[in-house]
Amino acid sequence: MVKTNKFRMFVIVVLGFIFVFMTTIGILFWQQLSPEEKNLFIGFIRQHAAFILFIIFFILAGYCFFLNWVFRLYVLPVNKVAEEIAIIYSSNPSHRLDVEGSPDIKRLVDAINQGADQYEGQQKKVQATIKKAIAEADAEIKTLAAVMAELPEGIIVCNSQGQILLYNNRANYLLTGSRTKDGDRASEPPDSNPVVAQQEISINGKGRFMGLGRSVFSIIDKKLIVHALEEISEKLNRKDSDVASYFVIALDSNKLIRSETIPILDNAQQFTGFAMIMWEITEQMAFNRQIGSLLQSLTTGIRASLASIQAAIETILSYPQMTPKQLDQFQQIIHNEVIAIGNTLDRTSAEHSCHIHTQWPLVDMMAHHLMRTISKKALDNLGVTITIREIDKESWIRVDSYSMIVAMLFMIERLHKKTGRNRFGFTIERKEMVVYLDLDWEGEPIPLETLHSWEKENLVFGNDCLPLTLEEVKKHHEWELWSFARKQNSHQACLRLLLPAVQVTAGSETIRHLTILPDSRPEFYEFNLFDQPGQKTELDNRLLTELSFTVFDTETTGLDPRGGDEIISIGGVRIINNRILRKENFNQLIDPRRSLPSDAIKIHGIQPEMLKGKPFIETVLPLFHRFCKGTILVAHNAAFDMRMLQMKEAATDTKFINPVLDTLLLSAFLHPAHKSHDIENIAVRLGVNLFGRHTALGDAMMTAEMFLKMIPLLAQQNIHTLKEAREASKTSYYARLKY
């Protein structure tokens, strides 16, 4: 061990110094002797050589025994006392010293244990005060959690980087299809039952994970959120009263989610995060399509009846001399058609009296704000310049800004390719209750047949893609699309959109106001743990208390990855903000497609029948890879677990590049005077309850608690950052072992 080696080096140096000193004295003494004395001395040594060597050996042996006695009774106990004092004051106040040594050391240990009793008593008083304060805060948190759980809307709150700070179960269900077992929770107070939902893995799904500290971009298309935040930024700059942004999320399961995004500002009015409020609109959209089809059928029927009525009236007016009998026939036709129209309207009204307006969000906004955004994106993405010539700043339209922008850019891209033009003009004009959006260019107009073919295409522009056609967006916004040449300039073509104008009144109830935060409130295998590809400077220099961790463990069929042993269980739990999120865990049994040795079953207790029907590693490992994304991996004897994962990288097309920390190495660094560094002994030393031993999730939970206990101990050794922890691990004796 490090301190033992230092002491032994000191002993060697002292012996060397004594040897040099005695040799020097001997040389000086020899030089003072006369030749006769030298001969006499040499003869004496030869005559009594065995006795003299025995005396020297006896002195050296006594010296060594003395040093060993001093080492065992004074030096080694002092080192162990220092280590165990650190445990008491940093991780486990209930720990007491049990150190063998000299009577003086034992008196010191007794005095320290008495002080530890007083310290623990004071700690309990402090903890009682803290728990009381936490209980009061917890009551408020539970009130918030209960309110959020009852909301029909999904709620997600994120920081400015898109990390999830808070969410309710409805949001989790809408976006991942998972539900909590205990109901919705909004937050997780320290030392209480965990908050947010336990992840139930959907093996047939896309492996989306909702969780505190995770990126919302792993669940929702980043382009949608970036668009929303850009729109919010523009509204904040314009000081609009409604600063929310609205868009529709189309999931792989053909589910449509309406989202309303609201900015959160700090007390200095600086953007610090955003909240998303969500509703599912899949059924409403399907219902609306049925309504559209019905209305089209209704319109066709009414028009046919009206045509018959019109023809009858025109005939009556054209032939005033017709006989009463003929006149009666035409009147009967008119009467029958009027009754038919009334019946059709009554039937439609009765069948759909519960219909409400579409839930696909259309938001009131000024037309020129929309067109300026389109102009900027066209220049940035297509190199197309759009000059806005005439603007009616009082023109308000009702649109879904994201689908409208993608639709307009889709048409501009098609125009650019069709005409070869890089410059277009834009005019905005309102005439009564219609807003004209004219896009013009020098050249020939686009044929109507071409426009109709565009309407059948899915909206794709660059990386933006909507599961809608241009025609569907057109119908939803109730616009009309024309292509013509201007009368005043036959060489100037125009593409015109006619949208219904909106009369905006003050005091709209749909306006979302800002949320402003108050001022106050945060056995080793050949696997190199110390050179992971994901280790980057920005991570290395961050404090351990600021990082996100995934603490994991595997259960296997044996201890030989190269010999064909397989993973049969993976368990993991996340640590965020120095807190274990117990219900944000990963726990999955795996079919190894081989038999289980009886020796392995005795250790982990997993029976072969428990693995029948479970997914294979090719399905589970990619899900676990997503679960760990963006975190530091932590395990006990991590090189073995990482080697097991590495052996499956090619088969599962996954690669774990996350930085890795090992609690075995950290324990050996922190407590070099202790011989045992297995999970049981570390847990007892640090005051961690033994539970769920030899299950993947149970061992992961215990390792997580041990790791949190080690962080303050590392801080006492001036180990604060990820890089410092990794470098400290390298100094451990275990880090140099290969098996």
Residues 370-405 pLDDT 10s: 888 888 888 988 889 998 887 777 788 888 888 888
Q: Are residues 631 and 604 in the same domain?
A: yes
Q: Are residues 592 and 718 in the same domain?
A: yes
pLDDT at residue 287 in the model: 57
Domain count of the chain? 5
* 694 is annotated as an active-site residue: yes
280: β partners: 257
Nearest one of 311, 249, 245 to 282, comparing CA atoms: 249
Q: Are residues 562 and 594 in the same domain?
A: yes
Average pLDDT over residues 571-588: 91
Q: Are residues 661 and 650 in the same domain?
A: yes
pLDDT at residue 293 in the model: 62
Greatest Cα pair distance in the chain: 175
For 208, the 3-state DSSP assignment is: coil
Domain assignment present for residue 128? The answer is no
Domain assignment present for residue 583? The answer is yes
H runs (alpha helix) in 319-399: 324-351, 367-382
Domain assignment present for residue 225? The answer is yes
Other C-beta atoms within 10 Å of 405: how many? 21
Q: Which domain holds residue 228?
A: 151-281
Q: Are residues 84 and 203 in the same domain?
A: no
Domain assignment present for residue 389? The answer is yes
Q: Are residues 302 and 377 in the same domain?
A: no
Residue 181 reports pLDDT greater than 70: no
Model confidence over 229-278: pLDDT tens digits? 988 888 888 888 778 888 888 776 667 888 899 998 877 788 889 999 98
Sign of CA dihedral 534, 540, 546, 551: positive
For 586, the 3-state DSSP assignment is: strand
d(CA 657, CA 650): 14
Model confidence over 358-367: pLDDT tens digits? 446 677 788 8
Q: Are residues 304 and 379 in the same domain?
A: no
Instruction: Decide which of 281, 300, 317 is a domain's last residue.
Output: 281
Q: Are residues 476 and 390 in the same domain?
A: yes
d(CA 263, CA 237): 13
Torsion-angle region of 543 (φ positive above 0: left; ψ -120 to 50: alpha; else: beta)? beta
Nearest one of 554, 717, 713, 705 to 644, comparing CA atoms: 554
Model confidence over 660-696: pLDDT tens digits? 999 999 998 888 877 788 888 898 888 888 776 778 8
Domain assignment present for residue 47? The answer is yes
Angle at 581 between CA 87 and CA 676, to 5 degrees: 35
Q: Is the pLDDT higher at 99 or at 599?
A: 599
Residue 311 reports pLDDT greater than 90: no
Instruction: Decide which of 351, 380, 408 is a domain's last residue.
Output: 351
Residue 300 phi/psi, 5-degree rounding, is -60, -45
Q: Are residues 288 and 271 in the same domain?
A: no
Instruction: Decide which of 453, 485, 500 is a domain's last residue.
Output: 500
Average pLDDT over residues 85-106: 77
Q: Are residues 617 and 480 in the same domain?
A: no
Residue 652 carries which side chain, given as an amino acid letter?
A: T
Nearest one of 221, 164, 91, 177 to 705, comparing CA atoms: 91
d(CA 183, CA 148): 11
Q: Which residues contact 664 (CB under 8 A, 6 or more apart)?
A: 636, 637, 638, 677, 734
Most confident of 110-119, 480-489, 582-591: 582-591
Domain assignment present for residue 520? The answer is no
Residue 123 reports pLDDT greater than 70: yes
CATH number at residue 232: 3.30.450.20
Q: Please, are residues 370 and 404 in contact by the beta-carbon 8 Å criterion? A: yes
Q: Are residues 587 and 692 in the same domain?
A: yes
Q: Are residues 25 and 170 in the same domain?
A: no
Residue 529 carries which side chain, given as an amino acid letter?
A: L
Nearest one of 131, 130, 119 to 94, comparing CA atoms: 119
- Among candidate residues 355, 416, 694, 720, the one labeled active-site is 694
Residue 673 phi/psi, 5-degree rounding, is -80, -15
Specify the residue for token string 């201007």: 486
